[in-house]
Amino acid sequence: MTAQIIDGKAFAATVREKVAGHVARLKADHGITPGLAVVLVGEDPASQVYVRSKGKQTVEAGMNSYEHKLSADTAEQDLLALIQQLNADPAVHGILVQLPLPKHLNEDLVINAIDPAKDVDGFHISNVGLLGTGQKSMVPCTPLGCLMMLRDYHGSLSGMDAVVIGRSNIVGKPMAQLLLGDSCTVTIAHSRTKDLPEVVRRADIVVAAVGRPQMVPGDWIKPGATVIDVGINRIDAPEKGEGKTRLVGDVDFDSAVQVAGAITPVPGGVGPMTIACLLANTVTACCRANGLPEPEGLTA
């Protein structure tokens, strides 16, 4: 028996439909259109692709998209001034500053200048603290997407053993907080973990978020476990022809799919959920800003 494939692409489409439905109701019943501002500093090609995709999906969901593209040598004061302007703009409900920023800019300072209520990335120190103490917060998009897929597949996660591989502020740490919030027994593993295979073998849920291609083989997975692969790694694919590449996750899919109960593929798993959750967070921020009930099924 091979694992059930968790189709993140299809799931993301249902999240976007829900978002579009909420947006339509906000417009019809309250005359409010949610707005998302995305700030891109510099010309990093991968970031340009992401920002274009975010803008397109924002508009497709019926929301307003405001793109601010600044040159790579933008002064910190000018970026902070733009953030203050967006904080004060009632048409802007969500603000996202695309990372990484050019080296001369202090990322922590910039992120923490965003109004926490508009911080749709959930990176502001206030949101980190609110999530850690189980209070209402903005939740980082990638872990939120993983949580939605896990809840959809399992229903309740209560009492399950979860192992998160990776301790980043963007994925690993908030993922662990969300799983704890859903009453999992949570282990955060990382590069210094002793006997990682043994730690992973205990897990009913494995979330791999380290950025190392195919580092988790199938024989680390407990039979029947659910595997969420956050990694997006480009590797050489000589079998497709000279100079060709392909995307793989942090999990060795071909061996893991033989052992797991359910698994997300790469591409088409976690990836599409991230922008869908960004749209969800924007609607959530808009509802909170207007004292309206939060959209059901789109929050942690």
Active site residues: 54, 98, 121
Whether residue 234 is annotated as binding a ligand: the answer is no
Choose, by CB under 6 A, the member of 6, 141, 251, 260 that binds ligand GUN: 141
Choose, by CB under 6 A, the member of 11, 74, 82, 121 that binds ligand GUN: 121
Residue 117 is given by DSSP the state G
Identify residues 148-187 at the interface with ligand GUN (CB under 6 A).
Answer: none
Choose, by CB under 6 A, the member of 99, 130, 215, 292 that binds ligand GUN: 99
Alpha carbons 132 and 236: distance in angstroms, whole number: 39
Whether residue 158 is annotated as binding a ligand: the answer is no
Continuous H helices in the chain = 8-30, 45-60, 76-88, 107-111, 125-132, 141-154, 172-181, 196-201, 253-256, 270-289
The piece of 55-63, 92-100, 191-199, 200-208 that touches ligand GUN (CB under 6 A) is 92-100
The piece of 93-101, 161-169, 193-201, 230-238 that touches ligand GUN (CB under 6 A) is 93-101
- Distance in Å, CB of 2 to ligand GUN, minimum: 31
- Distance in Å, CB of 262 to ligand GUN, minimum: 24
Burial label for 241, CB within 10 Å (0-12, 13-18, 19+), is: exposed
98 interacts with ligand GUN by CB under 6 A? yes
- Residue 154's CB is within 10 A of a number of other CB atoms, namely 16
Alpha carbons 193 and 199: distance in angstroms, whole number: 9
- CB nearer to ligand GUN: give 63 or 141: 141
Choose, by CB under 6 A, the member of 3, 61, 97, 283 that binds ligand GUN: 97
Q: Find out whether 31 and 292 touch, Cβ atoms under 8 Å.
A: no
Q: Find out whether 231 and 250 touch, Cβ atoms under 8 Å.
A: yes
The piece of 94-102, 128-136, 213-221, 254-262 that touches ligand GUN (CB under 6 A) is 94-102
CA 115 to chain CA centroid, nearest Å: 19
- Distance in Å, CB of 3 to ligand GUN, minimum: 27
Whether residue 170 is annotated as binding a ligand: the answer is no
Query: Nearest-CA neighbor of 219 among 162, 257, 172?
Result: 257
Note the residues at the interface with ligand GUN (CB under 6 A).
96-99, 121, 141
